[in-house]
């Protein structure tokens, strides 16, 4: 699958980032030990030079894993030496790029898990990445209800306090009309009802391009769901097991999320509604630090909260196209390609997932994917207009 990269490539690419944007700029006497790595481990930075085809990454047997680790250790050492030798003025110039590189690496740590899952899922033996924890809550979930939000002019975007990606700004004000938001994300059981109601065979629920995709790809359920002896099973990083109805549905595309919302008599929230609802919420949830590596059922403690699972578990599709905020301008050079060049034919997701680091997510964080993608831990939260 073209979107999935080998683990070794992720290790080398995150190393290449520091070599390219730190060492080559601020260490004039630095010379790459293997110049060809610049071509092999560039991802999409056109201004940084030519790059190897993404869909062919899995065919590259060299460098070996050992050589990749040696490359990584070498670059780390050079960066350490650079940062310890420069004066405070130059350090202040380098620091934002190093910080960006660390957050870039956190993004790839998440991709490592989702890519490993996709690769393991192709094996009919369904290998286990990590044994499932035994203390998980399963069973009946609290009924879904909708929380009302009055019309307001909300502050949207990052206010500049601490790190953020450039696509989270500029901070601006936006009118958010009256709406209501579901108290939790959609579960497997609720999505199962959509399947049983013929959701994948009824074009009236689907966007035109979504309906074409469903038929071309022969979708009948979320990615990693398999029907065996009349029952649905799904592949997880803890192995192959029956679908648990109480868990959040995941690995659904924007097309599927939108179709489910239409079938439910609801819609997906806008990213502005989502951010307005999350303004006063603490960033707590099932993140990668929990090491569950899978969305978890809404806990019994959720009854004390109006909104549950806003952070962690699954990235929540919004109906907002990924577009620049008012006044946005991409930065100069190759680093300016980090986000801005993708502001076309993609939709925004919010909240993070079970593969996201707690230290990586923010209320203003804008993830984005094309509407047909399913290999990330993506899920659904419903919204409604005033009746």
Task: List the CATH number of the domain containing 288.
Answer: 3.90.1580.10
The answer as to whether 72 is a domain residue is: yes
How far is Cα 321 from Cα 173, in angstroms, rounded to an integer? 18
Residue at token pair 């707690």:
358
What Cα–Cα distance (Å) separates residue 317 from each residue in 82, 125, 376, 381? 41, 31, 11, 7
29 and 172 share one domain: no
Q: List CB contacts of 304: < 8 A, sequence separation 6 or more.
A: none
Helix 188-196, helix 254-263: angle, nearest 10 = 70
Confidence category of residue 134, pLDDT binned at 50, 70, 90 = confident
Number of structural domains (the chain) is: 2
Are residues 115 and 5 in contact, defined by beta-carbon separation less than 8 angstroms? yes
The answer as to whether 251 is a domain residue is: yes
pLDDT > 70: percent of the chain: 97
How far is Cα 358 from Cα 311, in angstroms, rounded to an integer? 9
Instruction: Report CA dihedral (51, 53, 56, 62) to the nearest 10 degrees.
Output: -10
How much is the mean pLDDT over the chain? 95
Q: Which of 51-55, 305-309, 356-360 has the lowest mean pLDDT?
A: 305-309
How far is Cα 170 from Cα 175, in angstroms, rounded to an integer? 16
Confidence category of residue 302, pLDDT binned at 50, 70, 90 = low
155 and 285 share one domain: yes
Confidence category of residue 137, pLDDT binned at 50, 70, 90 = low
274 and 234 share one domain: yes
What pLDDT, on the 0 to 100 scale, is given for residue 105?
97
Give me the mean pLDDT over the 225-229 stretch: 95
179 and 88 share one domain: no
pLDDT in tens, 243-263: 999 999 999 999 999 999 999
How far is Cα 183 from Cα 190, in angstroms, rounded to an integer? 14
Comparing 167 with 160, the larger pLDDT belongs to 167
98 and 167 share one domain: no
102 and 165 share one domain: no
Give me the mean pLDDT over the 17-36 stretch: 96
Cα dihedral 360, 334, 35, 86 sign:
negative
375's enclosing H/E stretch is none
How far is Cα 197 from Cα 190, in angstroms, rounded to an integer? 11
214 and 261 share one domain: yes
Residue 135 reports pLDDT greater than 90:
no
Residue 205 reports pLDDT greater than 80:
yes
152 and 38 share one domain: no
The answer as to whether 1 is a domain residue is: no
283's enclosing H/E stretch is none
Q: Is 383 helix (H, G, I), strand (E, B) or coil?
A: strand
* Angle formed at CA 269 by CA 195 and CA 154, multiple of 5 degrees: 170
174 and 42 share one domain: no
The answer as to whether 363 is a domain residue is: yes
81 and 43 share one domain: yes
311 and 188 share one domain: yes
Confidence category of residue 138, pLDDT binned at 50, 70, 90 = low
Tokens describing residue 370: 């094309």
223 and 352 share one domain: yes
Pick from 121, 136, 162: which residue ends a domain?
121
The answer as to whether 41 is a domain residue is: yes
How far is Cα 228 from Cα 209, in angstroms, rounded to an integer? 29
What pLDDT, on the 0 to 100 scale, is given for residue 303?
60
Q: List CB contacts of 243: < 8 A, sequence separation 6 or more.
A: 188, 192, 225, 231, 232, 233, 234
Instruction: Supply the range of the domain harboring residue 109.
Output: 7-121
The answer as to whether 18 is a domain residue is: yes
Q: Which residues are paired to 234 by β-bridges?
A: 225, 241
The answer as to whether 242 is a domain residue is: yes
The answer as to whether 127 is a domain residue is: no
Confidence category of residue 142, pLDDT binned at 50, 70, 90 = confident
Write the DSSP symbol of residue 249.
P
């Amino acid at each position: 699958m073209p979107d999935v990269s080998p683990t070794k490539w992720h290790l080398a690419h995150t190393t290449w980032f520091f070599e390219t944007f730190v060492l080559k700029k601020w260490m004039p006497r630095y010379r790459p030990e293997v110049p060809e790595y610049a071509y092999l481990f560039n991802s999409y930075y056109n201004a940084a030079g030519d790059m190897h085809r993404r869909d062919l990454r899995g065919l590259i047997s060299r460098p070996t894993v050992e050589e990749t680790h040696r490359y990584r250790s070498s670059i780390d050492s050079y960066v350490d030496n650079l940062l310890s030798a420069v004066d405070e003025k130059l350090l202040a110039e380098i620091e934002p790029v190093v910080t960006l590189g660390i957050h870039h690496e956190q993004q790839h740590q998440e991709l490592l898990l989702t890519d490993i899952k996709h690769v393991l899922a192709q094996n009919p033996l369904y290998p286990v990445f990590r044994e499932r924890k035994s203390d998980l809550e399963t069973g009946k979930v609290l009924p879904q209800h909708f929380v009302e939000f009055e019309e307001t002019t909300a502050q949207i975007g990052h206010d500049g306090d601490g790190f953020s990606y450039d696509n989270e700004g500029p901070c601006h004000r936006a009118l958010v009309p009256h709406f209501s938001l579901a108290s939790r994300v959609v579960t497997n059981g609720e999505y199962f009802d959509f399947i049983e109601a013929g959701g994948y065979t009824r074009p009236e629920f689907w966007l035109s391009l979504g309906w074409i995709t469903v038929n071309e790809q022969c979708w009948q359920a979320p990615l990693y769901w398999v029907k065996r002896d009349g029952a649905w099973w799904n592949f997880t990083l803890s192995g192959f097991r029956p679908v648990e109805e109480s868990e959040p549905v995941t690995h659904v595309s924007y097309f599927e999320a939108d179709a489910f919302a239409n079938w439910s008599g609801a819609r997906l929230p806008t990213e502005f509604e989502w951010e307005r609802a999350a303004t006063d919420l603490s960033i707590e949830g099932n993140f990668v630090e929990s090491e569950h590596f899978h969305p978890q059922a809404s806990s019994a403690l959720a009854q004390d909260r109006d909104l549950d699972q806003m952070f962690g578990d699954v990235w929540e599709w919004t109906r907002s196209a990924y577009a620049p905020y008012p006044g946005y301008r991409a930065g100069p050079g190759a680093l300016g390609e980090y986000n801005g060049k993708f502001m076309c034919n993609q939709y925004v997701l919010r909240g993070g997932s079970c593969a996201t680091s707690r230290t990586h997510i923010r209320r203003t964080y804008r993830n984005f994917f094309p509407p047909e993608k399913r290999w990330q831990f993506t899920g659904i939260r419903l919204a409604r207009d005033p009746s």
